[in-house]
Structure 1
């Protein structure tokens, strides 16, 4: 009965260790998930802000292009008006030259004839004023046409200067838009990366929770089975107690545990969990978890009670290393065949 109670205590210790490892890994994942959620939320806010800025820039570019188009149309109109004004100026100038030439060539006779034909002093003065008015009219018309032309040219110069400013503004806005687009692309890439990491972390957490539940369920189910087996074998254990005592008393290199000699200083059934080489160590017994699906070549039980493969590597489970990785344990070199042990922990497969 004493051996039976010890075995139950060992199975209970292993079960508690398994729960402890699984639960200790979950807060780490929870913190990782929270951090990634904060990062993705911040990046999404940044991306929304950048997109809003891009909308505003696009509106400004469209407004500037409309102003440029309107300015171009106004320049075309002014150029047409300027051409008409120049034509009128040239025509008025030619007419004035013709009248002046006529007056110089025929001025004396024509002027004397026109004045002598006057009926009265008032008529004479009117005809003299007429000649003077014709000359002043030509001069005034030409001056007005020159002023109109100069005014149109000034407007055209102002519009062309405005066009240059609008073109510079559009170039600046296009440059800002390109910078925002590059920033948006980089932010989108970062957001996609962190979203993928967040989903991976959530999947890993769900997998660990499921593995912990399955492991606990298997341990609970097999504890009862192992207890029944131990009851049936308790009489055999008692009958062989004398020989076991002699064996224990003769061992100096380690701790006897049933038929196995476990080196001192390493993991033992009574310790259940130790710290070694930067990680914690626990064990899971094939009596509780048979592990038929692990496909271990040359599977056998070593003298220390560990389950080993054909190359004498201890079969271990780890979430920190991929399967097939060789790691150092307190009982010797091991190779990863399974997962679900929790971050920072290594499970040794044993027959304890």
Structure 2
């Protein structure tokens, strides 16, 4: 039994050493993947920021366009008011000219006659005041209309100046929008490129890990075979000396035949595959993990002939290991590190297979 344990220890150490040597070049791929993941994250953040800036800028452009539209409407209104004011001013001016012309053509006799035909002093004063008021009214009305016209013209100039500022702002915002759109397109292209590189790096890393594990298993098998040959030679020389050593040697050989397995409590688990201590390994293009019925009873699963195999795996009536996988439909037979299994459940995650065990 001690010899059997020593063989297992030697084989385990050989496998660890071989696997460690095979993995020595893997940090390069891991560092490349990590670097590309960081670049992807940074580019994604940049793209999200640019898109948010574009949304903000689009809102500002829409607001500016609404202000320009409102300003245009106000300009149209002021132009209409200005035209009315000019027309009124011209009418008032023509009326005043007509009265002045009348007074000039009829001379002062009409005014004098109107004054001297007054019935009383009060009537005289009223008529004189009336004549003066006509002149003052014409003058005041003309001045008021000129002030109104000038005020409208000032408003129109200010509004047109504001309108020009809004137009310049709109042009500036449109230029910024075009620049951001070009930047977003360039960032999207960079992101797609880095994503492609990241995918290639991940595939290369997975392939290298698979090849390294396979190489480590082959190396460990060679070392185990060499160790078995040495033990067989030693056992033969013991057989020549006495019968009891021969029986002991026979037991050792029997032990070496199961030396590729490890004892885990009451179960005999083959080495080189998934074990309770190696709860996650890479095998045949996917990662493997296990879920224990001691934690997850799986009472909802319909597993005909459900039983516990000698290696501690939960199997069906046909001897298939019960599996969970998101990559294969239920009922699919998949090769695992511990043998053929059949998919009965999901929820394992992409690229991973769960083996149902009693560990």
In structure 2, C-alpha distance between the alignment counterparts of 1:127 and 1:13, rounded to whole Å: 134
Residues 1:213 and 2:176 are matched in the alignment: no
Q: CA deviation at 1:220?
A: 4.9
Q: How many residues align?
A: 224
Q: CA deviation at 1:212?
A: 2.3
In structure 2, C-alpha distance between the alignment counterparts of 1:66 and 1:228, rounded to whole Å: 89
Q: CA deviation at 1:134?
A: 0.4
Q: Which runs of 5+ in 1 are unaligned?
A: 1-10, 234-352
Give the aligned partner of residue 5 of structure 2: none
Give the aligned partner of residue 265 of structure 2: none
Q: CA deviation at 1:225?
A: 6.9
TM-score (norm 2): 0.56
Q: State the secondary structure of the residue aligned to 2:118.
A: coil
In structure 1, C-alpha distance between the alignment counterparts of 2:121 and 2:145, rounded to whole Å: 36
In structure 2, C-alpha distance between the alignment counterparts of 1:136 and 1:123, rounded to whole Å: 20
- Report 1:128-277 matches (<5 A): 128-220=128-220
In structure 1, C-alpha distance between the alignment counterparts of 2:222 and 2:104, rounded to whole Å: 136
Give the aligned partner of residue 68 of structure 1: 68
Give the aligned partner of residue 42 of structure 1: 42
Q: CA deviation at 1:183?
A: 1.6
In structure 1, C-alpha distance between the alignment counterparts of 2:23 and 2:222, rounded to whole Å: 21
Q: State the secondary structure of the residue aligned to 2:119.
A: coil
Q: CA deviation at 1:47?
A: 1.6
In structure 2, C-alpha distance between the alignment counterparts of 1:193 and 1:139, rounded to whole Å: 81
Higher relative contact order (CA 8 A, sep 6+): 1
Q: Which runs of 5+ in 2 are unaligned?
A: 1-10, 234-359
Give the aligned partner of residue 122 of structure 1: 122
Q: CA deviation at 1:109?
A: 3.0
Q: CA deviation at 1:16?
A: 7.6
Q: State the secondary structure of the residue aligned to 1:35.
A: helix
- Report 1:19-98 matches (<5 A): 19-98=19-98
Query: Which deviates further from its counterpart, 12-21 or 82-91?
Result: 12-21
TM-score (norm 1): 0.58
Give the aligned partner of residue 334 of structure 1: none
RMSD (Å) for aligned C-alpha atoms: 2.9
Give the aligned partner of residue 7 of structure 1: none
The answer to whether the 8 A contact 2:71-2:163 is kept is yes
In structure 1, C-alpha distance between the alignment counterparts of 2:56 and 2:85, rounded to whole Å: 43
Q: CA deviation at 1:33?
A: 1.1
In structure 2, C-alpha distance between the alignment counterparts of 1:38 and 1:142, rounded to whole Å: 78
The answer to whether the 8 A contact 2:14-2:223 is kept is no
Q: Deviations over 1:184-206 (max 9, x none)?
A: 22111111111111111111111
Q: CA deviation at 1:77?
A: 0.3
Give the aligned partner of residue 326 of structure 1: none
In structure 2, C-alpha distance between the alignment counterparts of 1:24 and 1:198, rounded to whole Å: 21
Q: Deviations over 1:13-41 (max 9, x none)?
A: 99788634421122111111111111111
Q: CA deviation at 1:55?
A: 1.8
In structure 2, C-alpha distance between the alignment counterparts of 1:12 and 1:128, rounded to whole Å: 133
Which contiguous aligned blocks of 4+ residues in structure 1 show a shift greater than 6 angstroms? Answer: 11-17, 222-233
Query: Which deviates further from its counterpart, 83-92 or 38-47?
Result: 38-47
Q: CA deviation at 1:141?
A: 0.4
Q: State the secondary structure of the residue aligned to 1:57.
A: helix
Give the aligned partner of residue 273 of structure 2: none
